[in-house]
Structure 1
Amino acid sequence: MSDKSNELKTPHNKKRKAPPKSNGELNYKNQVKQMFSSWFKEHNRVGYVMTKQDIVKNIITKLTSKQENSLEIAIKELNKDGYIEVREDGLTLILTQKGVNDFKKMSF
């Protein structure tokens, strides 16, 4: 066996994985999702639009710096899970039927 084959198997050549998300990061994301949920509970009709101005006034101005880092992820997850639709501008959100049904009883 050559020395080169042994070199490739050393721990220094293994790909490093990203560390798992901490509970803090997960918690910040869920706090942001809860903010959206609370706003939509007050505006609980299918097709109700949350505009950029609504997001700034009701969400962004209330975020801590750590929650700000989770804003985009929270929006993407709410969209992926079918609670909201996101318009092309990325900051206009529309409440779906699933959102109407589930935000009433949801807690993140």
Structure 2
Amino acid sequence: MNPSPKKNYNNAKPFPKNSNNNNSRRKSSPKEKKIDVAPKNEVKDMFMAWFKKNRSIGQIMTKGDVVTNIIKKLDSKQDSALAEAMKELKDYGFIEVQEDGVTLVLTKKGYDFIS
């Protein structure tokens, strides 16, 4: 006696196998990206350490200084945080950014912070 094939009593359609149609898949909710602030803070510390060595209000950090003392020493995470770190230092009033976007000038508030 041969066993009878199993009957499918489920009314649901079977999920298509090996389908390239990704629209039918349930999409996960967007995850909030956790931002690591350590690299940004390290970059800010690098800028302020350079100014601290020179200790004068109005000290100018040229593009060459930025490249030599900051950019060449950055790892990939710090490199992506560079612009944000500069923006925060500017927003705090510690530095002024010249028209070229790279030359930095230490302000009185920045001098007081590092002193």
Shorter-chain TM range is 0.7 to 0.9
TM-score (norm 1): 0.75
TM-score (norm 2): 0.71
Structure-to-structure mapping, 1:1-108, within 5 angstroms: 18-21=32-35, 25-104=36-115
The runs of at least 4 consecutive aligned structure 1 residues that moved more than 2 Å come to 15-20
**Matched AA of 2:83:** E
Higher helix share: 1
Q: Percent identity between the aligned chains?
A: 48
How much has 1:103 moved relative to structure 2? 1.7
Larger RCO (CA within 8 A; separation ≥ 6): 1
Q: Which has the larger radius of gyration?
A: 2
Q: What is the RMSD of the two structures over their aligned residues, measured on CA atoms?
A: 1.6
Unaligned runs of at least 5 residues, structure 1: 1-11
Query: Number of aligned pairs?
Result: 88
